[in-house]
Amino acid sequence: MGAEQKAAAPEHKAAAGMLKELGRRLAQGEAGPLLVLLMVSVIWAFFQFQNDRFLSPGNLTNLMLQQAAVATISIGVVLILLLGEIDLSVGAVSGFCSSVMAVMIVSRGLSPLLAVLAALGLGMMIGLFNGFMVTRFRIPSFVVTLAGSLALVGLQLYVLGETGTVNLNADFVINLTYYYFPPVVGWAIAAAAIALVFAFALIGRARRHAAGLRVGSLRGLIFKNALVGAAIGALVFIVNQDRGLPLVVCIVFALALIFSYFTERTRFGRHIFAVGGNDEAARRAGIKINHVRVIVFMLGSTLAASGGILAASRLRAVNQSSGGSDLLLMAIAGPVIAGTSLFGGRGSVWSALLGALVIGSIANGMNLLAFESSVKYIVTGTVLIAAVTLEAVTRMRRQASR
């Protein structure tokens, strides 16, 4: 018995050490994705207990469709937050650009593809203007983008005209959110996505090793990517029980994968983190900080326009409220809840998807339970305040530990 206790002692110490390390990482905000997934588990368990339709394949598919536009806009928001800036015009940009697209298709007879490209180009030009005003005249980004959002709302009303609503019937646009892949194709896409994620992880590990930087264990990398693969497999299995894998989910995942690689594996991505962490140090290191800011604002507004197009596709229309309501709140709140810092220099593109999942789950669950609008706003605002408070506390702890 004594020998068994001695043999078990190292195992208990190892387990205690892992729990201690996990607690440290949670306390310092280094295990954001895990914390968010735990939050999602609690939210899903609560709403499933209240309404057994919540975790049905049909409702989970609807949840993904509902949050596709928000997640797309949030990816751009993450890029801007990494700079330590804020863009309060992303909701207005999405509504204005989607309205221009709809009018071009319906009233001007333009090809849907060209109309979509024009809307994306318009979003890029708006971002260029925002970035120029922030860098050239040193105007705080929240002032520039707040003023811009007001102007864009007015332009949107002018573009839509007296009717205020434009119905879309172009298959190219509508199929962005209403096309579902057959089960076999869905599984093939899932296999390709898992392979791509694992390949990117291996490439990143090899680059860090070649640069002489510290790399984690290969076993840990395999375990982490196995969890990602299991999540993707579970997603495809669930949606195949309903209508199949939606095209829009693939679009959003592809955007997240591309911009995750862009921010974490490229020189320009490292420049974004450097400028957000300490712009003066970045300038002295030879980084063209104004150049970085302008490009990021352009990317942010282009992704906002993309989100507006996806929202118009889902609703099959645009109207005077497109881009309004709580879209801006949800687009910014999601990444913050999932661990992206409001102070710049820390965060991940994947927080856009995780945050949209949290916000969307809460909104979807409250809709199923027929909560009043006042309650929905109170709950969403409370969650955001809690997330910002947690971010502030972890930031102070990190500064105190240095």
pLDDT at 213 over 90: no
In a domain, 229, yes or no: no
Mean pLDDT for all residues in the chain:
88
> Which band of pLDDT confidence, cut at 50, 70 and 90, is reported for residue 142?
very high
**The total number of residues written for the chain in this structure:** 402
In a domain, 262, yes or no: yes
CA atoms of 210 and 178, how far apart (whole Å): 45
Average pLDDT of span 4-17:
51
In a domain, 213, yes or no: no
In a domain, 335, yes or no: yes
Q: pLDDT tens for residues 378-399?
A: 887 887 787 777 767 776 776 6
In a domain, 325, yes or no: yes
> Which band of pLDDT confidence, cut at 50, 70 and 90, is reported for residue 7?
very low
In a domain, 199, yes or no: no
CA atoms of 46 and 365, how far apart (whole Å): 9
Residue type present at position 130: N
Domain of residue 103 covers 34-43+53-182+244-401
> Which band of pLDDT confidence, cut at 50, 70 and 90, is reported for residue 346?
confident
In a domain, 239, yes or no: no
State the residue for tokens 């240095």: 402
pLDDT at 50 over 50: yes
Token pair for 232: 């993707």
Domain total in the chain: 1
Q: Tell me, what's the pLDDT at 357?
A: 92
In a domain, 363, yes or no: yes
CA atoms of 312 and 167, how far apart (whole Å): 9
pLDDT at 19 over 90: no
Q: Give SS3 for 336.
A: helix
CATH number at residue 78: 1.10.3470
> Which band of pLDDT confidence, cut at 50, 70 and 90, is reported for residue 13?
low
Are residues 260 and 76 in contact, defined by beta-carbon separation less than 8 angstroms? no
Instruction: Provide the whole-model pTM.
Output: 0.90
Q: Tell me, what's the pLDDT at 14?
A: 47
